[in-house]
Structure 1
Amino acid sequence: MPRTQRNANFIDKTFGVIADILLQTLPTPKREKEAFAYYRDGMSAQAEGEYAEALQNYFEALRLESDAYDRSFILYNIGLIHTSNGDHARALDYYAQALERNPSLPQALNNIAVIYHYRGEQALELGQDQVSKILFDKAADYWLEAIRLAPDNYIEAQNWLKVTGRIDS
């Protein structure tokens, strides 16, 4: 039984039912429908904190999905899991792969910036001022691009950029 049919959450069940109807009615190749079903089950598992199960579903979705745009969201979600697990190097790799397929993915740009900012804070704590400046500058570059794509989002990042003099008011 697919994960979405087991989930007791009303919103998830509703999404699952609507997604199933769309999958049955849209003229989409069977392989793409299967990929979306795995993606949907991966999102459900991820929402419940079942990261191993989510990754299995996402990797199966990647195996089946051929559309670069759709693959970008799968890769982005894999990056989220690695971020949650503290594996920032692996997360950065998946976010970069997502951006290769979809350069207009501001949430991936934001998450990369967050990781660089976090690493910059760590470097500051270790007294590595030059390293922290490089990392903060990288974070700023990614946030500026994310804000360019989604100007109404990332208010905290916009404030940090203003306070640090990396963006004009």
Structure 2
Amino acid sequence: MPRTQRNDNFIDKSFTVMADIILKILPTNKKAKEAFVYYRDGMSAQADGEYAEALDNYNEALELEEDPNDRSYILYNMGLIFASNGEHDKAIEHYEQALESNPRLPQALNNIAVIYHYQGEQAKAAGDADGAEGYYDKAAEYWLRAIRMAPNNYLEAQNWLKTTGRSNIDIYF
């Protein structure tokens, strides 16, 4: 049974009904509508913690979706799953692909920076100061790009950049 027919709560059912109505009236081709159904099912599975099912749906959506902006969000959500599973290299790969499709996705830049910062913390804890600095520099690079796009976001990152001396420009607020 498709995930859209299994939703048990009122909000999920309401969302599904609204999404189905929108799908019927949207002036798009059948392939795009089918991609959206897989994407919607992927989001639902992801919200339920069913990551394997979500990835299957996202992969199906990617096969069908042609719009670069829509593809970027599919890839971004896949990156979220890989990051939450500790598969940092796969997460970064998917975030980078999302940015190739949509360069205006500061949340992908932020998430890459978070991963590099985490890896820097891990290297530091293991006694690899040089490795840690390399990861921190990468994190700074991505956070600066994200902050340039969304100057009112990522306040903790902005503070970290200033206190570590990795930012000498005032692009904040």
TM score, norm. by length of structure 2: 0.93
- Identify the range of structure 1 (144-153 vs 42-51) with the bigger mean alpha-carbon deviation: 144-153
What residue number does 1:18 align with? 18
Shift of 1:157: 1.1
Q: How does 1:18-167 map to 2 (within 5 A)?
A: 18-167=18-167
Cα RMSD (Å): 1.3
**What is the CA deviation profile of residues 94-131 of structure 1, one whole-angstrom value per residue up to 9, with x for unaligned ones?**
11111111111111101100000000001111111111
Q: Distance in 2 between matches of 1:13 and 1:163?
A: 47
Q: Distance in 1 between matches of 2:117 and 2:132?
A: 8
Q: Spell out structure 1 runs of 4+ moving beyond 3 A.
A: none
- Identify the range of structure 1 (110-119 vs 126-135) with the bigger mean alpha-carbon deviation: 126-135
Shift of 1:8: 2.4
Shift of 1:47: 0.4
Residue type of the alignment partner of 2:102: N
Q: Distance in 2 between matches of 1:54 and 1:23?
A: 20
Q: Distance in 1 between matches of 2:73 and 2:6?
A: 23
What residue number does 2:2 align with? 2
- Identify the range of structure 1 (119-128 vs 41-50) with the bigger mean alpha-carbon deviation: 119-128
Q: Distance in 1 between matches of 2:153 and 2:20?
A: 31
Shift of 1:2: 3.2
Q: Distance in 2 between matches of 1:159 and 1:7?
A: 42
Q: Distance in 2 between matches of 1:50 and 1:105?
A: 25
TM score, norm. by length of structure 1: 0.95
Shift of 1:64: 0.6
Sequence identity percentage: 69
Residue type of the alignment partner of 1:75: L
Structure 2: gaps of 5 or more residues: none
Q: Distance in 2 between matches of 1:156 and 1:74?
A: 27
Shift of 1:162: 1.8
Shift of 1:6: 1.8
Shift of 1:158: 1.4
